[in-house]
Structure 1
Amino acid sequence: MNRSFTIITLLLILGVCPLRIKAQQLYELPPDAETRWVSFENRTGDKGKGGMENKGAKGHPSEWINAGKSVTLLDFEGAGIVNRIWMTIIDRNPEALRAIHIEMYWDGAAKPAVSAPLGDFFGIGLGRMTAFQSALFSDPEGKSFNCYVPMPFKKHARIMLVNESKQNQLLFYDVDLIKVKKHPKDIAYFHAYWSNSSGVGLGSDFEILPRVNGKGRFLGTNIGVVADKVYGDTWFGEGEVKTFLDGDRKYPTLAGTGTEDYIGSAWNLGPFSQLYQGATVVDKQNKKFAFYRYHIPDPIYFHSDCRVTIQQIGGAGRDLIRAIARAGGRVKPISVGTSKSLIKLLDNPDYPDLFDDKFPADEWVNFYRVDNYSATAYFYLDKPESNLPPLAPLAERIKGL
């Protein structure tokens, strides 16, 4: 393998934006690389075997995947890198995008490295398709799925699509990859993990990524939030993202300052999409939000383990929080922001109770609350399997949509 191709391969594995690769590398010709596209028109990706049906005319662009059935998208022997996945289905309602899930297996592993709902995997939070463009995923017109995450493998790659929805689905797809003779020894395998906040109580953080063991890189996340309507129009997003690295337990090494701050915005949230950060769904009327952050220019490496969480914290005035509590909403004030300082209530047990008249009426109060969170975490790991639990069952995935 020539040196320039090795450098490009490593850059892609590390998630470096291809636009940063020197221009002359785009026209160099690595001798050992072979391009393959796998689709229904060439299921194996074999040389000279594409578009053979219907005497070379359009013969097999799609297939129906019946409810309860699965299909193998890729079953490829040898070493390579999946560079792009594109697909579309005929019925793209939110429940279907949670019911259908994608699985990826590397190098003969029995457990999938990727197991996530279709929409969430492709950066589409809450199953609500809208046009957006990021460095890793895109949906050009709100009706297709594109992934540009480089996924290397040494011996074998298998990608499955499982239709647990109630609808038969017409599927079009292609998986674009580079076949190589050999990889550097230190490649990392791509993983994705989906979870939701079912069972997470008041005062507990939601785990975006449960503790994963091994050496790797946290690549980022897309998160969906369905705010409980009992909280009215109060702000849900005071929660800070915390990343526990290499033995961190009670306190993390990396701590953010707030939800919209984590995705590069500030002072509440509006819709936007950029390369590394964005908010694809900001539906304040229906209390639904979806947003993403990809750590490409700001890598997060770990050497033994990694865990990522977000606090379930909102903010409002005293009287609004009192009304929420009276209506049965779960609340726990944790701090009061004044023009001079932040009063930390958990460090001040003698501070007046929320319903005490001495509790200030005209200040911003941060409080624990409980909303419906879901997230897809993306990471690279030095092995094709992780210690994480399997994908949640269908009923749990569609709850709250």
Structure 2
Amino acid sequence: MPQGIRSRVSSFENLNGVKGAGGQTNKTAKGNAFESLAAGQTKSLLNISSAGIIQRMWVTVNDRSPAMLRALRLRMYWDGSDKPAVDVPLGDFFCAGLGRPVAFQSALFSDPEGRSFNSYVPMPFKTGAKVTLTNESKSDLSLLFFDIDYIIMDKPQPGMLYFHACWNRAIRSTLGKDFELLPRVNGRGRFLGVNVGVNVDAAYGHTWWGEGEVKMYIDGDTTYPTINGTGAEDYIGTGWGEGAFTNQYQGCSVADTTKNQYAFYRFHIPDAIYFNHDFKATIQEIGGGSDTEVKSLAARGVPLTPVSVAGYVNGFTRLMDNPVALTDSKFPKGWINFYRIDDYSATAYFYLDKPVSNLKPLAPVEERVK
């Protein structure tokens, strides 16, 4: 058994896990299992001064609508910092992409029956930890339950890194511009993974949205990345489209062809991604469709730029190197990959050698809930 370590749990029954102080209300008979969170209110879920590690978090609320899960703002601060290392919507943090919780289990997050949220991400700190939740919606939240399981220790782990998470969204991007899964972050650390939500633009009909490649720019990469994937579904280990599935390190929790919504995740645990100076991860907004479909979209003025064709007869054509107009009679017949514009959002998880990063604060609630 390790020396100098004590186990604690913070909940409304014993906020901050004070030793020997749990369950004092209602003569110990479940007097404070939950509290409400009024519109505009912030509540502290943990505020301690010590070295330690958050080992598990569990949260559930009575209103689990996408709007509420995007409006609840989760922030975590390490070692007395004024700027949060984690600043994300509650649902997205727990891998409920697009604010749509489903029953699933992974190596880092789980939702046993689609009604609660669990995290098993280790979050170490040297001198203190603070976790808050703010209701930025216009509606009161009647029922908020939580517990944060952590250990405190006499001294921090040597060589520890701080956990960070950020949320990003591009509702309407520029044609041909890659979406930033994680904007460039400065420092030494590890990219732990990402969950991504896509609201597919119905203007593109039944064409496929997910041909974009994931790119990772490591330690000074500029125009070209060091790590370059081959497609959205390829990144999460599947192929030829993307249906719903959930595995330990990758999955697609939402594949809704009726609402044109997809949510998927990838955790780089067995395949660690480290960086020494800086890091950025992006995904291209590229889709695909038959030449007939794509020409029809272009004729209707739907924004797109063809980038390549997997020809039925003439093999593969790189249109950025050898441009051919869609209206040209010599344009090859086949599957066309093309730049398009969809609504992407992402929560990126990473470790850093400092308790604060250079990233911007969370976007306003109006942008999150659109």
TM-score band, normalised by shorter chain? over 0.9
User: Equivalent residue for 2:124?
Assistant: 152
Determine if contact 1:43/1:74 at 8 Å carries over to the other structure.
Answer: yes
Q: Which amino acid aligns with 1:298?
A: D
CA contact (8 A) 2:53 2:150 kept: yes
Equivalent residue number for residue 6 of structure 1: none
Task: Say if 2:183 is the partner of 1:207.
Answer: no
Q: Which residue of 2 aligns with 1:224?
A: 197
For 1:332 and 1:69, locate their aligned partners in 2 and report how far apart those are by CA, in whole Å. Answer: 46
Q: Between Structure 1 and Structure 2, which shows a larger proportion of helix residues?
A: 1
Counterparts of 1:342 and 1:392, CA distance in 2: 41
Q: Secondary structure at the match of 2:16?
A: coil
In the alignment, residue 293 of structure 1 is paired with which amino acid? Answer: R
Whether the aligned pair in 2 keeps the contact of 1:230 and 1:327 (CA below 8 Å) is: no
3-state SS in 1 of match to 2:274: strand
User: Are 1:291 and 2:264 matched, yes or no?
Assistant: yes
CA drift of 1:185 comes to 3.5
Matches within 5 A, 1:163-174: 163-169=135-141, 170-174=143-147
Q: Is the 8 A contact 1:62 1:171 kept in 2?
A: yes
Q: Which residue of 2 aligns with 1:233?
A: 206
> 1:356 matched to which residue of 2?
328
Separation in structure 2 between the aligned mates of residue 291 and residue 243 of structure 1, nearest angstrom: 18
Q: Contact 2:11–2:147 at 8 Å: present in 1 too?
A: yes
SS, match of residue 366 in structure 1 = strand
Task: Kindly indicate whether residue 302 of structure 2 is the aligned counterpart of residue 326 of structure 1.
Answer: no
Cα offset for 1:40?
Answer: 0.4
**What is the identity, as a one-letter code, of the residue corresponding to 1:367?**
F
Deviating above 3 A after TM superposition, structure 1's stretches of 4 or more consecutive aligned residues are none
Q: Which amino acid in structure 2 is aligned with residue 141 of structure 1?
A: E
Candidates 212, 215, 220, aligned match of 1:247: 220
- Is residue 2:44 matched to residue 1:69? no
Q: Is the 8 A contact 2:94 2:109 kept in 1?
A: yes
SS of the residue corresponding to residue 27 of structure 2 reads helix
Match of 1:185 in 2: 158
Q: CA deviation at 1:56?
A: 1.3
Match of residue 274 from structure 1: 247
- Identity rate, percent: 55
The one of 318, 322, 343 equivalent to 2:317 is 343
Could you say which residue in structure 2 is the equivalent of 1:48?
A: 20
Task: Find the counterpart in structure 1 of residue 285 from structure 2.
Answer: 312
Q: How much has 1:338 moved relative to structure 2? A: 2.5
1:258 aligned onto 2:234:
no
Structure 1 residue 322, shift from structure 2 partner: 1.7
> Match for 1:373: what amino acid?
Y
Q: How many residues align?
A: 368
Q: CA–CA distance in 2 between the matches of 1:358 and 1:284? A: 34
**Further displaced range: 256-265 or 49-58:** 49-58
1:125 and 2:103 equivalent? no
Shift of the alpha carbon at 1:221? 0.1
Contact kept, 8 Å, 2:164 with 2:351, in 1: the verdict is yes
Superimposed CA distance per residue, residues 80-116 of structure 1 (whole angstroms, 9 cap, x where no aligned partner): 0000000100111011111111000000111100000
- Give per-residue Cα distances to partners, 1:225-273, cap 9 Å, x unaligned: 0010000111000000000000000000000010000000011011000
Q: Following TM superposition, by how much is the alpha carbon of 1:184 offset from its aligned partner in structure 2, in angstroms?
A: 2.9
Question: Is 1:175 aligned with 2:118?
Answer: no
Q: Answer yes or no: is the 8 Å Cα contact 1:242–1:310 preserved in 2.
A: yes
Letter in 2 for 1:384: P
Distance, in Å, in 1 between the alignment partners of 2:188 and 2:232 is: 27
Q: Secondary structure at the match of 1:346?
A: coil
Structure 2 runs not aligned, ≥5 long: none
How much is the aligned-residue C-alpha RMSD, in angstroms? Answer: 1.0
Q: Is the 8 A contact 2:171 2:342 kept in 1?
A: no
Note the C-alpha offset of 1:186: 1.4
**Bigger CA drift: 119-128 or 163-172?**
163-172
Deviations 1:19-66 (A, max 9, x none): xxxxxxxxxx21211100000000121111111111111110000100
TM-score under structure 1 normalisation? 0.90
| Corresponding letter in the other structure for 1:162 | T
Task: Please list every run of 5 or more consecutive structure 1 residues that lacks an aligned counterpart in the other structure.
Answer: 1-28
Q: Structure 2-normalised TM-score?
A: 0.98
Q: Please give the alpha-carbon distance, in whole angstroms, between the structure 2 residues aligned to 1:243 and 1:196.
A: 18
Deviation readout 1:328-386 (Å, 9 max, x if unpaired): 3111000011256421000013x3x112222133x111000000000000000000000
Q: Is 2:13–2:32's contact at 8 Å kept on the other side of the alignment?
A: yes
